[in-house]
Amino acid sequence: MGVVFEAFQEGLDRRVAVKALDAKLARSRELVERFKREGRAYAQLRHQAVVAVHDLVEKEDTLYLVTDFVDGADLNRVLTQGGPLPPACIAVVGSRVADALDYVHFNKLLHRDVKPANVMVSRDGEVKLMDFGIAKDQTASDLTRDGMLVGSPSYLAPEVLGGEPADAKADIWALGVTLYELACGEKPFRGPDAEMLFNAIRRGEFPRLRSVAPSVPRRLARAIEKCLEKRPRARWKTAGAMARELERCADRVLGGIHPQARLVALMAHRGFAQEEEALTKIDRASLLATRAVDEGTGTAPAPAVPRHGLRWRWALMVALAAAAGLTAWLVRF
């Protein structure tokens, strides 16, 4: 719908992003209204994982949307630069985006275009959901004509292809496709043309994630695949429920590293930030550890001690304590 510029806001001494509506599109009343709705959608949202809007300016028959400047790269570039992401990064990114979507849905909005290119990761390890250009305000009239599909084809849910109106479950589906792609570098549903792609989506058949990405933990794989259930009611009940499960998955694979620090290390390793810059936020040991995981040389975490093993250890400690007490009593008397 336009082009995005990096700009400098002199009054507040900060960099911002300015999205300018293409002059040719400005002649279309429908597209102008979509652009304005994007600005209004952004303006309603105050979430750390959603790009904030500062102003909507109309000047010389052109519209400009002024937003936060995110210094980093979108996930499509990150994926292209180094291939599939490590499981910890997938879980962290997924939890952040799912939490943002839960907030968006609470505000009666639908994003309708969740995909890697619309999720940014900053050099500081922040995750930002962006591009609400085709978002739908569920309380406003619909600009979409009957029979028109809105969204990116590979990320459309089967019920949307079947003519049903999009809802929150369609955003959850699109996030599942996104995370699957981040995990293995391939989309779950593919086809040489739109018709075969849509048929694959309608059938709902795709390679199980661990069959193409064995390093993905089972729990994380199940969380992602639950988004891709053909029946909407079988998916996550809410994006918030999905976010909480992905947070638990992240806790299991981060190994004590702060989630944001893990993304800082990823961006440094893939060339989107300088190593010296990353080292101001995390220590060298963390950077080397995460780099090893990125390069496939990381070791698996130590297995958890079985519960019966813990009971045995407690029994041994109690026995030793009792023996020590008896010895002390005998020495005393």
Residue 316 within any structural domain of the chain: no
Domain boundary among 68, 85, 106: 68
One domain for residues 13 and 80:
no
Name which of 146, 208, 161, 202 is nearest 180 in CA terms: 208
| The pLDDT value given to residue 131 | 86
One domain for residues 129 and 28:
no
Question: In the 3-class helix/strand/coil scheme, how is the chain assigned residue by residue?
Answer: CEEEEEEEECCCCEEEEEEEECCCHHHCHHHHHHHHHHHHHHHHCCCCCECCEEEEEEECCEEEEEEECCCEEEHHHHHHHHCCCCHHHHHHHHHHHHHHHHHHHHCCEECCCCCHHHEEEECCCCEEECCCCCCEECCCCCCCCCCCCCCCHHHCCHHHHCCCCCCHHHHHHHHHHHHHHHHHCCCCCCCCCHHHHHHHHHHCCCCCHHHHCCCCCHHHHHHHHHHCCCCHHHCCCCHHHHHHHHHHHHHHHCCCCCHHHHHHHHHHHCCCCCHHHHHCCCCHHHHHHHHHHHCCCCCCCCCCCCHHHHHHHHHHHHHHHHHHHHHHHHHHC
CA angle 282, 256, 287 (to 5 degrees): 30
Q: CATH number of the domain that 21 lies in?
A: 3.30.200.20
One domain for residues 27 and 93:
no
Any residues with CB less than 8 A from the CB of 322 and at least 6 apart, and which?
none
Domain boundary among 262, 290, 315: 262
C-alpha–C-alpha distance, residues 45 and 296, integer Å: 38
User: How many domains does the chain divide into?
Assistant: 2
| Active site annotation includes 113 | yes
One domain for residues 51 and 182:
no
One domain for residues 54 and 151:
no
Residue 307 within any structural domain of the chain: no
| The pLDDT value given to residue 298 | 37
| The pLDDT value given to residue 281 | 67
What's the domain range around 21? 2-68
Average pLDDT, the chain: 83
| The pLDDT value given to residue 7 | 95
CB atoms < 10 A from the CB of 263, how many?
Answer: 27
One domain for residues 150 and 240:
yes
One domain for residues 130 and 253:
yes
Q: CATH number of the domain that 99 lies in?
A: 1.10.510.10
Residue 208 within any structural domain of the chain: yes
| The pLDDT value given to residue 142 | 56
One domain for residues 245 and 110:
yes
One domain for residues 28 and 48:
yes
C-alpha–C-alpha distance, residues 121 and 92, integer Å: 11
One domain for residues 142 and 236:
yes
Residues in the chain with pLDDT values less than 50? 143, 297-320, 323-324, 326-333
One domain for residues 105 and 180:
yes
One domain for residues 87 and 120:
yes
Residue 230 within any structural domain of the chain: yes
Phi-psi region of 204 (alpha: psi -120 to 50; beta: other; left: phi over 0): left
Neighbouring-strand partners of residue 122 = 72
Domain boundary among 47, 68, 89: 68
Residue 331 within any structural domain of the chain: no
Residue 168 within any structural domain of the chain: yes
Catalytic residue among 68, 74, 99, 113: 113
Residue 290 within any structural domain of the chain: no
Any residues with CB less than 8 A from the CB of 70 and at least 6 apart, and which?
17, 51, 120, 122, 126, 128, 130
Half-sphere exposure of 188 (CA within 13 A, CB side): 33
Residue 42 within any structural domain of the chain: yes
